[in-house]
Amino acid sequence: MYFNYISRSVQEKVNLLEENYFKPLKKYEEETGQSILPQVTTDVIHKIYGILDVNATELSEEIDAVILYPTASLLEHSYEHITSIYTHILWGTSARRHHLRKTKYFTCMCKRCQDPTEMGTFVSALRCLGTENQPCGGTQLPINPTAHNCEWSCNKCDIKLPNKVNRE
């Protein structure tokens, strides 16, 4: 099911590229007699889309545009690890990991994602309300933040919460 979702999503983007960029480029090539991109096959379009989709950085939420820094993206994929962020920094672990699975096709296992406190930021933490008769005031944190639908536990009382997020 997830693979079908990705395939449909990629094909929609490929169709968009083909319609808005490659067809006009072919028309321009015919009008001017220049050969700018001689092999515009479906495979080439998929490869270009894949490179942009995985390595490009979104410019902002307001516009649908990306930028690709070829050298910087190669550094991140080599042995020289550079800290990069592909999501919004204030998103909690669950939201970041979901976004990365959907847009960059990998499951993040960085130190922040593995730490229930998110490196002491407590971005995803919930205030524990305790029971009706005994307010707790503790903090609910995921027991295993990288596990799908992990249970949450209070750091002051015995109350545990299920995680029933239903994401693909």
Chunked mean pLDDT (size 10), the chain, 168 residues: 65 82 88 84 78 76 76 62 74 90 84 93 90 84 90 91 66
Q: Where are the domains of the chain?
A: 2-84, 89-168
pTM: 0.60
Cα of first residue to Cα of last residue in the chain, in angstroms, is 9
| 140 within 8 A of 108, measured Cβ to Cβ | no
pLDDT value for 71:
73
Candidates 90, 132, 139, 86; CA nearest to 110 is 86
Q: Is-contact 5 12, C-beta < 8 A? A: no
